[in-house]
Amino acid sequence: MSSITLKDVPEELLTRLRKAAARDRRSLNQEALILIEGGLAAHETAEERAQRQLTAWRSLAGSWASNEAFEDEVAALYAARTAGREVSL
């Protein structure tokens, strides 16, 4: 995997990044990557976004391995679900 070095990062920006990383329980590097990814995603076109999603789906296709019948798998998934938390609408 490639890496980059950021130079001349303003102290205030670095402080904000450190606070965000601590708040989100991430390393400084992880937080920076997530913020960069989010910033780039905000600038991508609908076509680019659709292509990225399609690529992600294709990478998952065929990765589920099971000896159970489809209907049995679905039933097991539903049986394992929890009620979750109550939500007031």
31 token code pair:
């937080």
In the chain, where the domains are located: 11-63
Residue 8 confidence class, pLDDT cut points 50, 70, 90: very high
Query: Position 38: which residue type?
Result: G
40 token code pair:
């780039």
Backbone angle region of 62, left / alpha / beta, with phi > 0 → left and psi within -120 to 50 → alpha: left
How far the first Cα of the chain sits from its last, in Å, is: 45
Q: In the predicted model, is pLDDT for residue 61 greater than 90?
A: no
The CA-atom distances, in angstroms, between 78 and each of 56, 82, 83 are: 24, 9, 11
Global pTM reads 0.54
> What is the model's pLDDT at position 88?
85
